[in-house]
Amino acid sequence: MAKKTVADIDVAGKKVIMRADFNVPLDENMNITDDARITKAMPTIQHIIDNGGSVILMSHLGRPKGEKNPKFSLAPVAKRLSEILGKDVIFADDCIGDDVKAKASALKAGDVMLLENLRFYKEETIKDKAAKEDAQLREAKDNFAKKIAELGDVYVCDAFGTAHRDNASMYTVPCFMQGKPIVAGFLIEKEIEFLGETINNGEKPFVAILGGAKVSDKLQVIENLMEKVDTIIIGGGMGYTFAKAKGIEIGDSLCEDDFVSKAAELLEMSKDGKCEILLPVDCKAADKFDANANTQIVEGDIPEGWMGLDIGPKTAELFVNKIESAKTVVWNGPMGVFEMEAFASGTKAVANALAKATANGARTVVGGGDSASAIKIMGLEDKVSHVSTGGGASLEMMEGKNFKVISILDEK
């Protein structure tokens, strides 16, 4: 990795501002229902305090829309961090202001402090483009970022989930800390290694699996991957747009009619032999979008009034054989409506194939979002090489985009 990490610098006696992604799910009683995003930040936090630094953690949670709202407080995260660390985490009930400044100034080596939700301030999410075009917005964003930047001696970026966004805490704060160390945390390092490096230098045979509802969300991904992989497997709702492009009747299945011609163009491009696009050969169709719908396995045209909600058994076998023979696999998007047990078998087959490929020595990377949820639900998270913590960020990395927030980190 060309960027410095927290392991490359001396943090002893330093106050380290660390942008983490603690956007965890909460129930109606403000209890955390999944603490994975907290536990994945722990190696970086532990490294800092073990090496004599203090940590000022910051994150967003939910979408409070620039207003202080107790429903989106990070207080439950402070409580969980205290339990994991076995020590009290200082919780600031704001992320800027005199009280925050005083608490940060009083931090001693080994102390951990968590700021309140960054998105309680609209300045956090002002887009950089808008700030450049509007002096008032730029001043507001800059003033907010400066107040945070003044709290510490080192900046550590470890929030991959927001690495594709130029939020104040992700981009403007480190810009105001030029001259001080600006480095990656271990989670960001791992994401770049597994997503960035794998996509650009994956060992052949290299298979990409794309699913989910919309072709429009994955067009740039497909175009980027066609230059890098041997096979692109397409399933999920987006598969029916490709089926329609081939002249297959798709009944009431999901389809983006505006992208049928683009799907046909991509299929034509794949005929040059450099990259195969593998489509479903059968599906599990239902007479309504319901867990208890009537179902049938359909090859070829889907009857009127029926909709494809999962890949069929022949497709599952076709996809599994391709995955298990690969040396590198990246996966983003389910094969069907996996939240309903009746339409989860295709996604399960792909997940199990990834686990088997990993056991056979392949490097397997699962993009965030629904794919990550599926593999976790199945208890296979530890059976693949890497599960990304960022849905949108992992998708943009698969598109081949460069992230501004990573580009400004110190070079090794």
Of 79, 214, 376, 383, the active-site residue reads 214
Residue among 266, 281, 382 nearest 322 (CA): 281
Residues in Cβ contact with 343 at an 8 Å cutoff, skipping those fewer than 6 apart: 284, 286, 309, 310, 336, 337
Pairing of strands 307-311, 282-286: antiparallel
Burial of 7 (0-12, 13-18, 19+ CB in 10 A): middle
**CA–CA distance, 388 with 369 (Å, rounded to integer):** 9
Q: Is 37 known to be catalytic?
A: yes
**CA–CA distance, 259 with 257 (Å, rounded to integer):** 5
Local structure of residue 400 (DSSP, 8 states): T
Of 62, 110, 196, 392, the active-site residue reads 392
**CA–CA distance, 367 with 208 (Å, rounded to integer):** 11
Q: Is 392 known to be catalytic?
A: yes
Q: Is 346 known to be catalytic?
A: no
Instruction: Write out the DSSP string of 121-184.
Output: SGGGG--HHHHHH-HHHHHHHHHHHHHHHTT-SEEEE--GGGTTS--IIIIIHHHTTBTB-EEE
Residues in Cβ contact with 189 at an 8 Å cutoff, skipping those fewer than 6 apart: 1, 3, 5
**CA–CA distance, 76 with 25 (Å, rounded to integer):** 11
Residue among 182, 160, 201, 199 nearest 412 (CA): 182
Bridge partners (DSSP) of residue 331 are 209, 366
Q: Is 391 known to be catalytic?
A: no
Of 235, 346, 369, 391, the active-site residue reads 369
Task: Give the catalytic positions in this structure.
Answer: 37, 214, 369, 392
